[in-house]
Amino acid sequence: MQTFIASVVVFGLLIFFHELGHFLVAKRVGILVHEFSLGFGPKIFGIHRGETIYNLRLLPLGGFVRMAGMDPNEEEKDIPVEKTFNHKTALQRAAVIIAGPLMNFVLAAVLFGLVIMMQGIPVASTKVGEVISGYPAQQAGMQAGDKIVAVNDKPVQDWNELVGEVNKYQGEPVKLNVLRDTQELQLTVTTMKDQSGRYMIGIRADEKETFIKKMNPLAAMAEGTVYTGKVTGFILVYIGQMITGGGEVDLGGPVRVVSEISKAAAFGSFQVMQLAAFLSINLGLFNLFPIPALDGSRVLFLLWEKISGRPVEPSRESFIHLVGFGLLLLLMVVITYNDVVSIMFDK
């Protein structure tokens, strides 16, 4: 039951934020939205507000926003043409499509931020673990075990703050207040540029000296946004390695996701939130890929329309998306089979 509830919540969050992105931007540019649905299949219940019906459907593995004029084969009676999807500019339609994946990155940043705010993150103290030979810190007499408490009389609490303060003084002398045993010293160090172009003084943190740091909501959300960017970068690098053969191909479907959610739920809500953030980033990235039937391919068609000045024939575009959707379903069947076999074998 715990796994079921956690899975429904995680899938629901990912789908809701994705579709909410499409919905909000569609409303913003003046498109009439017929239906906002979470899930597929039979309707459990629905609410009619204004011009939109909000439905909750039985199968929590997707969702959709049905907009006026998005299906070229659907007749839109008694609806002003200016409120239909295809009447909007290519840029406006692209914004509606891209907004879904982008909201998944927003969700990830919020979830990471909440975890950082409530649980905190491990950070290194300002204790020096190593003084690099030939750098200014060694020349100034700094030693391993020294603890830096202030930079130019500004107190620093952790290693990130220390690095941030030192980096403000590029090529300039910096006064460091240092605790050595019970004695406080003042050392003056001039930062120097290394081969990568960064200014540094030549010290490394003591990795054994860490503590949990909690942040206020604003700082936590900022840190969550930065962390989302880092995770996105790591995923893109890994995908690049898989494509070029430099990394092992590792794909997972809904069965694998539920299995991972079950493992995370056993460790608590913070682990589930972190996993949900990671999955949200993956969902956002996957939808931006130029694969037929995904948001990324629809943006490509709109880009072609913008460049050529004329849209792709609707029937041709629909056929391409249909073929792409079929191939994605086939891929999902293969991945699901592999996931089931892998989970059974692991057990």
Distances (CA, A) of 133 to 89, 137, 149, 171, 208: 60, 9, 22, 18, 21
HEC-encoded secondary structure of the chain:
CHHHHHHHHHHHHHHHHHHHHHHHHHHHCCCCEEEEEEEEEEEEEEEEECCEEEEEEEEEEEEEEEECCCCCCCCCCCCCHHHCHHHCCHHHHHHHHHHHHHHHHHHHHHHHHHHHHHHCEEEECCEEEEECCCCHHHHCCCCCCCEEEEECCEECCCHHHHHHHHCCCCCCEEEEEEEECCEEEEEEEECEECCCCCEECCEEECCCCEEEECCCHHHHHHHHHHHHHHHHHHHHHHHHHHHHCCCCCCCCCHHHHHHHHHHHHHHCHHHHHHHHHHHHHHHHHHHHCCCCCCHHHHHHHHHHHHHHCCCCCHHHHHHHHHHHHHHHHHHHHHHHHHHHHHHHHHC
Structure-block tokens of residue 262: 């079950």
- Residue 283 one-letter amino acid: L
For residues 267 and 227, give the distance between their C-alpha atoms in angstroms, rounded to a whole number. 21
Q: Could you confirm whether 19 is annotated as catalytic?
A: yes
Distances (CA, A) of 319 to 67, 132, 313, 322: 20, 62, 10, 5
- Active-site residue set: 19
